Structure 1
Amino acid sequence: MTSPAPPLLDWARLEWRDGSPFAVDYGDGYFGSRDPQAEVREVFLDANDLSLRFAGAQRFSIGETGFGSGLNVLLALEEWRRHAPPNAFLSILSFEAHPLSPGDLLAFHRHLGLDDADSRALRDQYPAPIPGLHRIEFPGARAVLTLGVGEAAPLLTQVQGRVDAWFFDGFAPRSNPALWNTGVFRQVARLSGPGTTFGTYTAAGQVRRDLESVGFSVHRVAGHGRKRERLIGNFKTTCPGPAVHPVQHVAVVGGGLAGVCMADALHRRGVRIVLFDPAGIAAGASGNPAAVLLPNLHPRDPELNRLAIAGMRQTQALIQRLEDPHGPCLRLATGVAFHGISAHGQKRVARLLKAGPEATGLLFNPEGPGCAAAPHLFYPHGLAVDMGALCRAAAQDLPAIHTQAVLSLNPCDDGTGVMLETSDEQPLRFDAVVLANAAGTGGPLCPEQSAISTVMGQMTRIRAPFPDWGGYVATGQGYCIPQGGGTAWIGATYRRTEGATNHLGTDKAPLAEDDAANLRHVNWVPGLDEADKTQVLDQWVGERAVVRDRLPLVGRSRLDPNGRVLMTVAHGSRGLLYAPMASEWLADHLLGLVEPLETAVAARLRPSRLDIEASGD
């Protein structure tokens, strides 16, 4: 285990002086002129020639060193909507050490007249002041923002990806030296490449010298408004670097939650995808009719908690996008109470309560509703979801879903692609292949799948004399998802399949003994303490793929040293929490875009961790 998570940040101290916003912590104003929008367009958008570059872009990345009110981001999105091709994708990276409170952010936006779809999306997804990277989606703009909360210098070291244009913003260098120094600019240079440009309001000599020292050419130009000068420039490279083979056409093998989320993430980034699954969408464990979205937290493991925060945000964003405005209703219940029924559960609750919700990303509320018979935690953003319906909704707009089986894959000798052999005996070439097929579901195997075990799980649908407890999900030793009308889904069993992998022939018929086990595990739930008053209505059985630490395997496979075969597998434990987030990370990783997870956090998912575990290190 690692050290405790860093504490929550304080909100920025804001004052309005003569109608203009002033940062008390920095002794400086948020804007350099009386016309902030004109300032942003000249100093950042025009300085980076964004209207022209957007018009020819397929995928584009912007980096910013001072988020503030988000004005730069929102005007960049406005420009992107106006000029970018229909299938283009924009990734924005920004940092803020002293974030505005939600109320101050709203006041800023009202002051600036910002109330379009993108500004509302920003306010709706605006994170708590939790240090780390937070992903915000702008579905209508085909864009995402990765917002780094905390000091830029250490956070930048944890960022991977490529940036095409920089906005060097933030308060004046004399007021904010932590943002304007060679340590920050070295990381900026690491994320830059041929053609990367920048614009900034400042013209300080030390900033110019620092930028030149890390490889930028810097030019003074006329400043905005009464400002005499400002700086623009571009990144100089002395070597061409390795040849880059663009990723345009990708195969995804597997039609469960991991596969459809992966295909959806790539499709939204303008990649042509083909999804293969002979059984169709959500035919296996992902057809679960009632899954629970619940974070997996630890009082002294901040990386695991960061995965939980990112996973909760990403799955909620996915559900919101698919439901809104006229999509299917995917949520079965809102709010999850975890009760310490067993000795282990009671110890877990006690440890998390002692650490406090601040230590784990404010994901639980110690005062929330729950059964008084046991100590509990309440997760207000937890959900119960029809996962099969979620998969089908995510796959609805995918351009190509094939039901032929993938028999084998072979990386091309030149390292630029992968050949797939399918059941119709016609080899197909793709720039990359993502394996999202669970163990035992056929298709090509990669070396990492030898570490995957399969687990049978049975859920039971019941009718019982439930009292009205508020409609939230009750979990502990087993879970109970209320359905209305006195019905609920309960479960689930967790029986390891003999032999670990490749068990398509396993008998998946429901078992009466598993119904009994499910009822026994939830006899603490109000209304289920008398078995003779409970009626079994239905069952659902699925086979799930897991590895020892119950985290998925996400990243490059050893099958191809050139990195054209990737995987997002073993989502059988908390797949609803991890699969959508893993897909976003893997898509950005494959395409060289800014990744939504810090490097140390993403390492917890990478398949190479199995090698370290096997070596005993």
Structure 2
Amino acid sequence: MPERMEWLADGTAGESPHSPRFGDRYHSELGGLEQAKAVFLQGCRLPEAWAGQPQWCVLETGFGLGLNFLVTWAAWKADPQRPRLLHFVSTEAFPASPDDVFRSAWSHPELISFAQALKDQLWGLLPGMHRLVFEGGQVLLTLCIGDAKAMLQGAAFEADSVYLGGSSPLLSPDIWDVHTFKAVARCCRRGTRVASWAVERSVREALAQCGFVVQKFPGMSPGRDNLQGHYQPAWELKKSRLSPARRMPADCIVIGAGLAGAAVAASLARRGWQVTVLDAASTPAAGASGLPAGVLAAHVSPDDSVLSRLSRSGIRVMLQQADSLLQTGTDWRPTGVLEHCIEHARKLPAAWQAGQPLADAAHDWTTLATAEQLKQCGLAPETPALWHVRAGWIKPARLVRVWLASPGVTWRGQSDARQLVRQADKWQVLDAAGQVLAQAELVVLAAGHGSGVLAESAGLGPALALQAIRGQASWGLNTPHTALAMPAFPVNGHGSLVPAVPLDQGMGWVIGSTFERDSSSREIRPADELHNFCKLQTLQPLAAQALANQFDGHQVQGWAGIRCATPSRLPSLGPLENVPDVWVSSGMGSRGLSFAALCAELLAARLHGEPLPLEQRLADALLPQYVKRHANTLKT
């Protein structure tokens, strides 16, 4: 349930927000806008400090109503010398509702458009980290929902500015204690500036104990002081404590032009890289990403497993990409997806149940299907089923082409990479004849199962644990008769059905697909077509009945592709073991739409020492798996 807010009549347009939990106002009596500018921006010497920098990272304790973020974003946008990328990382144990966040900006007309964009993305804020994206991916807000100490534990990014906020130290001492400041200090470099409106001696002493040099400065009105300072510990920092170096953009080769490779290319290009994408095929998305249409829906488990949490993070990133890059109704549609639980009723986590604290945020993602939704599918009211709210269908090939069209990305087809050779500080990619296709400082293997074959043939350490999985889908065109029998949204759970997707030939349907391990054949098989139809009869009986004549009359088309999976069912994302500057992004199985954009952003963040888009332990779960480690793979 969102944090309860009281609005006090004080003559302002939106009234003044007050927290019943802490008995405290959300900003000073002079207003949140003035406080944000005078205390935090000026206290951290912004925007002057970030001028000409490639990226800048602000860490905030206490997101509250988001005004500090909105003011910083507005200052970034107005600055002609702004950094290419602005990261804003904020912790919040008790997130406010989107409506309250928007209402807090009413009295500041210059922030209304920013506040509306923020409100639109403030959904599904379950405990954990949530990456919100603005300005075409140049402003990235990482919301850490939970205790600040816990959320910052193990963080591996470097903050350039720190805003210390939250309720009064007298009312909320936990966020101002030495343990919180130690967690903040672990995210700072020498010279990181810190600012706050809290000037109590206990705050100053705790900060000094953690290596910050701070002092009081005159504030916004007589008798009001602010705190300013910087991180300058008297001790040498341990190597294990140092954040990863921020890598400068350079040249990169991505091998593979499917979802994984195109996503990596676009993410690196946004950060200034020049990326060459090589693929053996003559067109992009010629492999598993060429599926006519795919379903995008979160994985759900009673224990909210690693796979479930990763799928939500990935879907949030993919929805942002689709919304900003694709044409709704033609390239994708966020219809929602019904999951028909064929084998057994899939249980939601206990904390998501009605009346529980997480119910509202969880129901932004997944709920029990309603009787009306089941009726649209021709299913009985007692049928076990889930409704995925943030879900729909996407044409993967269309998204691949849009990503490859990003400025800074060059696509080269009919370039069959067979070997990697290290020459000085660069990698050369060779074809079967030993000719150099391209060379660059960084190589990313994103060629599905071929990633493992390429790495192994080049002698690059232990073999990657990647398994080829053949899938055959079936598709056809809707008639007036079949269209009436179709639901208004995709259905999955035993195969899947996309009931209405615009194809070149007309409005079509797509079902499937099969799942055949250790097969790389792309031959269209009548037996697999029959298998897809049999699964549809169980998944969606009305649709199957309407399509029976098309299957019987051999009017159905087939498509086959080779997916790639790992033993853990999680993607493989990270640098290859003991091999400099070669990374892999592969093994996404049948969830390429869920994971491709997330893996690309994670790869870019790790290369640049940026805040990660998800918790460190979830990122670690994606590190490449090798054949020798099969016995120790992560259970999900």
Q: TM-score, normalised by structure 1?
A: 0.88
**5+ long unaligned stretches in structure 1:** 1-8, 499-505
Match of 1:596 among 613, 616, 632: 613
Distance in 1 of aligned mates of 2:616 and 2:127:
14
> Structure 1 202/438 Cα, relative in aligned 2: closer, same or farther at 3 Å?
same
Q: Please state how far the C-alpha of 1:366 moved relative to its aligned partner.
A: 0.8
| Aligned residues: CA RMSD | 2.8
Query: What amino acid does structure 2 have at the position aligned with 1:396?
Result: A
2:276 to 274, 277, 280: 274
Larger deviation: 326-335 or 81-90? Answer: 326-335
Residue equivalent to 1:408? 419
Secondary structure of the residue aligned to 1:111 is coil
Which residue number in structure 1 is paired with residue 324 of structure 2? Answer: 321
* Cα distance between partner residues in 2 of 1:539 and 1:386: 16
Q: CA deviation at 1:557?
A: 1.5
CA distance in 1, matches of 2:305, 2:347: 18
Contact conserved, 1:456 with 1:541, CA < 8 A, in 2?
A: yes
Question: For residues 32-82 of structure 1, what are the alpha-carbon distances to aligned partners after superposition, in whole Å with 9 as ceiling and x for unaligned?
Answer: 232432221121112212222222110111100011111111111111112
| 1:14 counterpart = 2:6 | yes
**Are 2:440 and 1:440 equivalent residues in the alignment?**
no
**What CA deviation, in whole Å up to 9, does each residue of 1:79-119 have, x standing for no partner?**
11122557711111001122211221222122333555432
Q: Is the 8 A contact 2:52 2:82 kept in 1?
A: no
Does structure 1 retain, via aligned residues, the 8 Å contact 2:585–2:599? yes
Classify the secondary structure of the residue corresponding to 2:104. helix
2: distance between equivalents of 1:141 and 1:570?
A: 25
Distance change in 2, residues 1:507/1:428 (3 Å): closer
Letter in 1 for 2:338: A
Q: Classify 1:132/1:521 alpha carbon distance in 2 versus 1 (closer, same or farther; 3 Å).
A: same
Q: How does 1:201-350 map to 2 (within 5 A)?
A: 201-236=197-232, 238-239=235-236, 244=245, 246-249=247-250, 250-279=252-281, 280-323=283-326, 329-332=330-333, 334-341=335-342, 343=343, 346-347=344-345, 349-350=346-347
Provide the secondary structure at the position in 2 that maps to 1:194. Answer: strand
Partner of 1:422: 430
C-alpha contact 1:437 1:569 (8 A) present in aligned 2: yes
Which one is further off, 105-114 or 596-605?
105-114
- The answer on whether the counterparts of 1:58 and 1:85 sit within 8 Å (CA) in structure 2 is no
The verdict on how the C-alpha distance between 1:510 and 1:352 changes in structure 2, with shifts beyond 3 A counting, is: farther
Q: Separation in 1 of the partners of 2:516 and 2:362?
A: 32
Tell me, yes or no, if the aligned pair for 2:467 and 2:518 is still in contact at 8 Å: yes
Q: 1:24 to 1:351 in 2, by over 3 A?
A: closer
Identity of aligned residues (%): 26
User: What amino acid is the match of 2:476?
Assistant: I
- 1:336-415 equivalence runs, <5 A: 336-341=337-342, 343=343, 346-347=344-345, 349-350=346-347, 356=353, 358=358, 361-362=362-363, 363-368=365-370, 369-370=373-374, 371=377, 372-373=379-380, 374-399=383-408, 400-403=410-413, 404-410=415-421
> Offset at 1:215?
1.2
Give SS of 2:191's match: coil
Q: How does 1:453-492 map to 2 (within 5 A)?
A: 453-463=467-477, 465-466=481-482, 467-483=484-500, 487-492=508-513
User: Structure 1 pair 531/119, CA: closer, same or farther in 2 (3 Å)?
Assistant: closer
Question: Equivalents in 2 of 1:331, 1:199: separation in Å?
Answer: 44
CA 1:116–1:253 in 2, change beyond 3 Å: closer, same or farther?
farther
SS of the residue corresponding to residue 617 of structure 2 reads helix
Per the alignment, residue 188 of structure 1 pairs with 184
Q: Which amino acid in structure 2 is aligned with residue 388 of structure 1?
A: A
Following TM superposition, by how much is the alpha carbon of 1:293 offset from its aligned partner in structure 2, in angstroms? 0.6
**1:69 matched to which residue of 2?**
65
Aligned-partner Cα distance in 1 for 2:632–2:435: 40
C-alpha offsets along residues 425-482 of structure 1, whole Å, 9 cap, x if unaligned? 4486544322212113664445565411101111111356433454101223221111
Normalised by the size of structure 2, how large is the TM-score? 0.86
Asked if 2 retains the 8 angstrom alpha-carbon contact of 1:418 and 1:433, the reply is no
Q: Which runs of 5+ in 2 are unaligned?
A: none
1:30 aligns with 2:30: no
Contact 1:309-1:361 at 8 Å conserved across structures: no
Sort the Cα spacing of 1:447 and 1:398 in 2 relative to 1 into closer, same or farther, 3 A. Answer: farther
**Distance of 1:612 and 1:184 partners within structure 2:** 37
Matched, 1:169 2:172: no
Select between 182-191 and 462-471 the one with higher mean Cα deviation.
462-471
Say which SS state the counterpart of residue 53 (structure 1) adopts. Answer: helix
- Specify the code of the residue in structure 2 equivalent to 1:540: W
State the alpha-carbon separation in 2 of the partners of residues 85 and 126 from structure 1. 29
8 Å CA contact 1:57, 1:84 repeated in 2: no
For residue 581 of structure 1, report the CA deviation from its aligned partner: 1.2
2:24 counterpart letter in structure 1 = D
Q: In 1, are the aligned partners of 2:487 and 2:499 still within 8 Å (CA)?
A: no
1:315-353 CA distance string (max 9 Å, x none): 101101103xx7893215612111122x3xx24x25669
